[in-house]
């Protein structure tokens, strides 16, 4: 019999570890070549991992929830010999291995505590049975009781390990806050004409066009006029990298956490095609079927947090990008039009930008142009 240990393979996209989400086999199960044995969760997606050989599972190298590094043992499989030699050795055998002796749990010595220390513990609600005794001969000292009083009470706390997608989000946003000197600017926008334009487009094309698609189209149009924001900073070489095309990231809330599917070359897509691609990408992100490759390579991110019923935000830049655009909910508000106060469909848009790539004039110019597109979609046609 031959034991073969399968190592956690390289899952691509520079991933260095994965969290075991679900074992599909148990010790003693028989597996075949290319059978899926485990589902792991990386910083990008959930991945099913097949085993490259057949046999009987004799060891699983990790429990559900544990993190394994790429290249470390994942599973050990014992391959059965296909045929014997036919010869029988007489007088020689394999002795039964010694059974491990069960260790007896030593009976702990009785804890000793003085009446004074016992009263101190009782007055403060301390369970002396749970205290470590540091005094000579197993004596619980005053210091033992006082030490327990300074420790936080964790009985009402629930702790959860930061792993998988949550860890990837935490790492990326922490890096953004640590490395990028960001600033945020915002403006209130009258979106009444935008909603009217959307209805006209849907009537004319007999197609459903999402507001997100219109906002995405306006975003790439504004980036043509302000390409400084479609960039990133190479800190090692002190250079700004400006991208010729817009790979537009769309922030999407999913059951696994925040994910940002990327629409490559979004500036090359017309409105209807962009609407279709956005719908497919966000749906795939939510149901967990979006490949990891489609979650990387973005050059600018659009965040429609209005779907959560909020007005404004100061979004954190999706490192290593240079800017992120946020759009709040659209609601009825009083607004002055031609000197008259009237009810209009209002929203708030905000832009967080990397102050290393541009100054407030550029950021404000981009945001004002984007707002103008929303308020006057017909004028946006000249830039599309």
Catalytic residue numbers read 355
The tokens for 240 are: 């700004």
Listed residue (290, 346, 299, 294) closest to 322, CA to CA:
299
- What would the two tokens of residue 33 be? 């070549």
Kindly give the pairing relationship between strand 340-354 and strand 323-327: antiparallel
Please confirm whether the linkage preceding 320 is cis (ω < 30° from 0): yes
CB of 349 closer than 8 Å to CB of 327: yes
Helix (H, G, I), strand (E, B) or coil at 312: coil
160-163 CB contacts, 8 Å cutoff, 24+ apart: 161/65, 163/19, 163/41, 163/65, 163/67
Per-residue DSSP letter, 167:
H
In what side-by-side order are the strands of the sheet with 2-7?
Answer: 2-7, 73-79, 55-60, 30-31
Q: Enter the tokens of residue 108.
A: 């702990």
Distances (CA, A) of 249 to 52, 72, 172, 255, 335: 36, 33, 15, 18, 32
């Amino acid at each position: 019999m031959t034991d073969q240990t399968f190592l956690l393979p390289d899952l691509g996209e520079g991933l260095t570890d994965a969290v075991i989400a679900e074992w599909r086999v148990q010790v003693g199960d028989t597996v075949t070549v290319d059978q899926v044995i485990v589902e792991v969760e990386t910083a990008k997606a959930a991945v099913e991992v097949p085993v490259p050989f057949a046999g009987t599972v004799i060891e699983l190298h990790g429990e559900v929830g544990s993190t394994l590094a790429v290249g470390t043992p994942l599973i050990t499989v014992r391959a059965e010999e296909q045929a014997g030699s036919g010869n029988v050795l007489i007088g020689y055998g394999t002795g039964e291995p010694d059974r491990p002796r069960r260790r007896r749990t030593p009976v702990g010595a009785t804890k000793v505590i003085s009446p004074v220390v016992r009263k101190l513990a009782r007055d403060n609600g301390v369970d002396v049975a749970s205290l470590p005794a540091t005094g000579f001969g197993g004596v619980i000292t005053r210091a033992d009781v006082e030490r327990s009083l300074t420790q936080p009470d964790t009985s009402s706390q629930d702790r959860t390990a930061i792993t998988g997608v949550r860890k990837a989000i935490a790492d990326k946003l922490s890096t953004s806050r640590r490395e990028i000197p960001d600033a945020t600017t915002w403006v209130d926008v009258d979106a009444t004409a935008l909603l009217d334009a959307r209805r006209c487009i849907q009537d004319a094309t007999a197609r459903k066009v999402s507001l997100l698609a219109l906002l995405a189209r306006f975003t790439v149009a504004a980036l043509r006029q302000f390409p400084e924001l479609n960039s990133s900073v190479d800190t090692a070489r002190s250079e700004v990298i400006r991208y010729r095309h817009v790979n537009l990231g769309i922030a999407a809330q999913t059951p696994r956490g925040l994910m940002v599917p990327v629409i490559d070359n979004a500036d090359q897509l017309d409105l209807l095609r962009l609407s279709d691609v956005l719908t497919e990408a966000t749906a795939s992100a939510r149901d967990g079927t979006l490949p990891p490759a489609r979650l990387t390579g973005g050059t600018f991110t659009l965040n429609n947090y209005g779907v959560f019923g909020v007005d404004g935000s100061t979004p954190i830049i999706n490192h290593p990008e240079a800017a992120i655009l946020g759009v709040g909910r659209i609601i009825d508000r009083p607004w002055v039009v031609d000197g008259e106060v009237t009810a209009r469909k209002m929203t708030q848009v905000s832009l967080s930008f990397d102050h290393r790539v541009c100054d407030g004039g550029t950021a404000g110019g981009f945001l004002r142009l984007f707002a103008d597109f929303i308020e006057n979609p017909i004028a946006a046609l000249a830039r599309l």
